[in-house]
Structure 1
């Protein structure tokens, strides 16, 4: 992307130089030969391009000397401009193609990552949170400005329509941990969700809904969770107004920069050695981690009993110091 900007700047510089030489050459003929501005421009252009066309009037020695200067400087400027234009067209496309292939190779090596469709204002915030948590992710977008901005930040990007089958495949959807579609248009989010669900029936999908009537359509298309930025924003503002300290505490817990308390989702996998064992057995004496909630069969149970037997597919919401949470994940 930086290379393409360099080529564009060089082209603009060359074009500016050519225009300046043409203007100076025209003014020179007006002053030296006393010709009209049109005749002087005609003579300058035919001289620079070396196509010839005859002189508007007979020239004296001063006029011929000025023509030599115009040829020497003007032809060089024209040649530089043509080469800059050629480089911008050919090398620019070549660089873009090479860059995209490099990005696709990086995406092809990623495992257990997220696919983020859309790198606008909402997508940018999601990407920052992913990066802060150290979570691998690939950005899928079709907007050149968004792609350039993401690439400039060192993020992995795939250029393409996320609703097309080939694009999610290039982003490694078969190996992905989940997909977040945060495109501005609800229709696009529905198509992206539907395509992703067809490609990966078991994929966890979070979709953005801008309008209230889009939520049931997104769920029908296969989204596991549907989020409205406006609804969430309104609820958050209300909560901050009514319970500022509680909201601050939750923000601290969920913050990636929080080094004291970590909140994490942990799933009991099928075939786990912990299936059938009591929840309390997960935590040895002195362990600082604890379970806030257990989700089973779609039902959320807050502060489950210590004797609760674990089942395959149970989702635990665990809290504790980062070191204790990581140790819990390793035990499972």
Structure 2
């Protein structure tokens, strides 16, 4: 198993709850801040922007609603991993104070569309990043690519790329979340999911016995379509992204898929703003977390 933290692995495999995705980064950061009520005029450079983002994430993480009773793991981006909460590295705070398993987003965004998909851009300094992640007590990673059309060549390339990088990540002692998202607005979403499942099964069957991965997928058009993937011995957990559905709709669809748990980002922070008092903030976050949890444990 390499250096994987077995306590954290057990929690991810058998715990009840969902994963909080706190990893919007780069281009989506100003948008995430704007939704939180912090306008671009409030910061004049990246450092100030990331400090404001860290304050937002710290507020979410430190909230008493952000509790391991509901939340199994949290996905961070690099800048959050390199910052502290109450004097502790964010990942250590999550695990030691909250019993929540820390993940790191490692991709550098999407390449231009080709063959109906967007592969990941190259990740040139991945090895160094993974070394730092291990030093910071990160458990696993996340990387996203996107499927727009049911193009067999494109989907095969996406899955091959995800697993190739995933194996490199596992060798460093981290558990990769493999995320080939199917665009929920795609005209042939169901067909894409059929091809995707076949390609994932092919890759899983080729893995060495001890390799562990997680899968992060769009909620399938056909309910319980991914149950074979959940049953595979290599798969720690299958989690779902909200993908642009409203929180209500995402929760509804999720609850119809047994064993599929949430890994929501936008749907988690919906309705939270900087101007809220702590009581107001928790009055929004608390019921949000409970509702996503309820949909995840079906």
Shorter-chain TM-score: what band? Answer: 0.3 to 0.5
Higher fraction of helix: 1
How does the TM-score come out when normalised to structure 2?
A: 0.33
Q: What TM-score do you get using the length of structure 1 for normalisation?
A: 0.30
Q: Considering Cα pairs closer than 8 Å and 6+ residues apart, tell me whether 1 or 2 has the greater RCO.
A: 2
Structure showing greater radius of gyration is 1
